[in-house]
Copies of this chain bind each other. A is one copy, B any other.
Amino acid sequence: MQSSNSNEVENYEVRKLEISDKSKGFIELLQQLTVCNSVSDQEFRDRFQELSLCGDDHVVCVIEDDHSGKIVATGSVFIEKKFIRNCSKVGHIEDVVVDSNARGLQLGKKVVTYLTDHAHSMGCYKVILDCSVDNREFYEKCGFKQKELQMAKYFI
C-alpha cells in the first residue's frame, strides 16, 4: 500500500495540454484567473491547432487530478527569438493558475518549474513573467527576481 505522500506525487504530474482537456475543466480553470468566456469546441480546437504549429516554441502545460479527472493547474510559455545577445531567446511565462480547491499542494511551483525548465532547454538566456504585487513572493520562491515595470495599453 502506498503512502499518502507518494499518492500525492503520482496524482499531480505536469504534462502538455491535450485536445481532450477542454472537457476536463480547462476553460473553467482559466476563468479563475481572468475573463474567459465560454469557448466552443470548434474555437478551442482551432486555437489548439494554431498553437501546435508553434511546436516547442509555445507550450501550454496542465496538471490533471487523477482522482477527479479535472485539470487543476495550468500555465504557458512561449519562446521569443531575438537579435540581441547573439541572436538569443527569451521565455515568456503566461497564464499560470491553480484551482482554488487545490491550493497548498505546490502545484503552482510545479507548473512554473516545468515552464522554466522548458525555456532553459530551448536555449533561452532568461525567462520572464508579469505578476501582481500579491504574487511576487510566490515567484521569488520559484527563483525569480523583480526587474522592471509592466506597462499595458488596452484596446477594449
Contacts and interface: CB of A to CB of B under 8 A. Distances in A.
A56 interface: no
Interface in A47-104: 47, 50-51, 58, 60, 78, 80-87, 92, 94-95
B83 A47 contact: yes
A33 interface: yes
A150 B149 contact: yes
A24 to B, nearest CB: 14
B152 A85 contact: no
Interface residues of A, number: 60
A86 to B, nearest CB: 5
Contact of A86 (B26, B43, B84, B125): B43
Nearest to A82: B95
Given A39-B86, A92-B80, A146 B155 contact: no
Contact of A130 (B33, B83, B133, B149): B149
A16 interface: no
A75 to B, nearest CB: 12
Contacts of A142: 153
Interface string A121-141: 000111111111100100110
A61 to B, nearest CB: 13
8 contacts: A47-B83, A78-B80, A126-B154, A126-B156, A128-B130, A130-B147, A133-B149, A136-B151
